[in-house]
């Protein structure tokens, strides 16, 4: 999975596997995997002018993470 760097408070990078619908987010506190994420959610995260806020509101609060690191 290709990880894209994100310059946002608390976020370092994100990657998405469209086939398995899994999102991996590297934060300052660890790396987390989210299942059943639509491609649109990932696109919005990457394109957001405030990816940290989008992550907290649309992903962190809505989906259950699995810590991978």
CA quadruple 56, 10, 28, 43: dihedral positive or negative? Answer: positive
pLDDT reading at 7 higher than 90? no
Q: How many domains does the chain have?
A: 1
Predicted TM-score of the model (pTM): 0.93
Q: Alpha-carbon distance 36 to 4, whole Å? A: 19
Per the prediction, the chain carries an average pLDDT of 96
For 32, the domain range is 3-67
């Amino acid at each position: 999975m290709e990880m894209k760097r994100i310059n946002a408070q608390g976020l370092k990078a994100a990657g998405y596997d469209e086939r398995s619908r899994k999102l991996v987010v590297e934060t300052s506190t660890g790396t987390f995997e989210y299942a059943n994420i639509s491609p649109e959610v990932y696109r919005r995260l990457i394109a957001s002018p405030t990816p940290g806020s989008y992550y907290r509101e649309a992903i962190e609060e809505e989906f259950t993470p699995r810590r991978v690191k």
